[in-house]
Amino acid sequence: MDTSVAHKTNVPDFATAYYLLEGLNEIGIDYLFCNFGTDHAPIIDEMAHRRKRGEAMPAVVRCPHENTAAHMAAGYALVTGRGQGVLVHVDVGTANTANGMHNLYRSRLPVLLMAGKAPYTVNDELIGSRDTYVHFIQEPFDQASLVRPYLKWEWTLPSGVVVKEALRRAHSIMQSEPRGPVYLMMQRETLTQHWNADEIRRYPADQFAATPGGGDPKLVSALADKLLTAENPILITGYAGRHAHASRAIDALSQFAGIAVYEANMTNNISHDSPCFVGFSADKAVPEADVGLLVDVDVPWFPSDVQPSEKTFWAHIDIDILKPGSPMWTFPGNLRMQGDSGRILDQVLEELKAKATPRFKAAAAARLTRIKAARDQRIARAAKLAADKGKPGAINPHYLMAELGKLLDDEDIIFNEGVTNAGAAVLQILRRLPNTTVRSGGGGLGWSGGMALGAKLAAPHRLMVQISGDGGFYFGNPCSVFAVAQQYKLPIFSIVLDNSGWNAVKQSTLRVFPEGEAKAANAFEAELAANVDFTKIGEAFGAYAEKLTEPAEVPAALARCVKQVRGGRAALLHARVTQM
């Protein structure tokens, strides 16, 4: 644009990239997790410009791989509730974030993904025109299609004059429930456009931010009436623990009404300290329930294994009530309430207390006695599983996880990517505080290391533990993870449960073909390299590392690693566990 008029006035004049960084600061972006490329030249120059002027902007974390960047943003959002920025390079960088965007979308974690696009001018007509080979081959017809299935919103910035409006729009959408990724694309010519400061409008949070919602009073009353007459009520949740108040609301309602609580296919744990918390599978309870509450859950059971009674009354309370991101989702719901589950459950409890009769209270007390017995059985079963230490070269994961649990504080966070060994960690390490055991809502492996780093950045005083199988460890780009840990002084504890293969692949084949040809030949196409020493990866980036093969060494090895991490150094424990 012609800036001659601007230069004759006292109004400051800056490039779009300058206002982009200012706008990111205004919407509360603390960090940009970046993998830079040629499309970011205007942003990099304005970063230096703003530093020179002493002006605020998000801190930059450079990540050697985009998978690390995406999952660091996820970990930061998990702890703070606030989405951050991920800045990657045109189509190829966007493609490398697709796994992360899938996981964030399915985990309902907000993130602002930003990428350049190939410059649109060829003959040097504008500042930022094409000037290198890749500018001619990195322009697909539809760049956003690389991540579109996992986006709530996408846009290409058409002009710098609306950059702050676009950022506020993106932020409001990613932070609104159900939260998730948004995507903004920008070309170099747009980022180098100059605008007067008074031409760039601000969009304050008090007028444009997302707001929460509660339940319909009539539906709340109807659910309370059902609970008043219930004989065998259950509650199943999967990710209510992402908000502490939802976990507290579940505990309060379940104790008052005598409701057995289950976590099914958990992604964010509720408090396991509740006397009503029974365990991690409701399969046996579902057919016998007369009233069931599905609270913030994606897959409460597998319909191929469990058939609920047609007489059961199901109430579905969820921020994501119809799961529009899934083409098929057909779990029952006689009553559905969309909104903040903690707020809705508080309303149900208030209504229930107002209507409670002596008979109801006596029945609830009797149910609490039965729930305690079921809870005690689950704890005894876990202890029995952990009593077997395994053998040299094949440590029992249950034993390993039980010993790990003894070293963790309540506020420490476990990022559980153990896949077929994930159940051992969940069963053996019960968490008193919500959102301190995390699994990905998505199916993309390789997330736990990056998320642990992002969480450590958000909460430096807490121990972050990554638990991964050897297969998932490969997917996680561990060199990138440990490089960031070293460069930004983010010590995490990584445990690799090495069973030398993809046990999930083997088990899936056996479920479909229990007596098939693969079983007969013991050929499941699941074996990975058996003689690997993963400790060398950690050591290459200054981490403390041990390889563990002897069950007798488990307590001491874990203690040494935890001591190192709490002292400020990343640690990697390569544990040889029970083979596939």
Predicted pLDDT of residue 530: 87
Residue with tokens 């005690």: 376
Domain 217-378 falls in which CATH fold?
A: Rossmann fold (3.40.50)
Fill in the amino acid letter for 158.
Answer: P
| Backbone angles phi and psi of 149, in degrees to 5 | -60, -15
DSSP 161-206: GGHHHHHHHHHHHHHSSSP-EEEEEEEHHHHH-EEEGGGS----HH
Predicted pLDDT of residue 211: 67
According to CATH, the superfamily of the domain at 6-208 is: Thiamin diphosphate (ThDP)-binding fold, Pyr/PP domains (3.40.50.970)
Between the alpha carbon of residue 170 and those of residues 40, 57, 103, 155, 177, the distances in Å are 20, 18, 19, 9, 13
Burial class (CB in 10 A: 0-12, 13-18, 19+), 112: buried
Predicted pLDDT of residue 362: 97
For β-strands 464-469 and 493-498, DSSP reports them as parallel
Between the alpha carbon of residue 83 and those of residues 175, 342, 417, the distances in Å are 7, 21, 22
Predicted pLDDT of residue 256: 98
> What is the end-to-end Cα distance of the chain in Å, rounded?
64
Number of other residues whose CB lies within 10 A of the CB of residue 211 = 8
CATH 3.40.47.10 fits 388-576, yes or no: no
* Two tokens, residue 470: 């050897």
Number of other residues whose CB lies within 10 A of the CB of residue 361 = 13
Predicted pLDDT of residue 2: 47
Q: What is the pTM of this model?
A: 0.94
Return the domain boundaries, the chain: 6-208, 217-378, 388-576
d(CA 439, CA 427): 14
DSSP 430-487: --SSTTSEE--SS--SS-HHHHHHHHHHH-TTS-EEEEEEHHHHHHT-HHHHHHHHHH
Local structure of 412: helix, strand or coil: coil
- Identify the CA nearest to 449 among candidates 429, 424, 468: 468
Q: How many helices and strands (H and E) does the chain possess? A: 21, 22
Fill in the amino acid letter for 149.
Answer: P
d(CA 105, CA 175): 12
Predicted pLDDT of residue 39: 93
- Chunked into runs of 10 residues, the chain (580 residues) has average pLDDT values of 50 92 96 96 97 97 98 98 97 97 97 95 92 91 96 96 95 94 96 93 82 79 96 97 95 97 94 95 96 96 93 94 87 92 96 96 96 94 97 97 98 96 94 96 96 98 97 96 98 97 92 94 91 96 98 98 98 94
**Identical fold, 6-208 and 217-378:** yes
Residue with tokens 């009797």: 366
d(CA 191, CA 204): 22
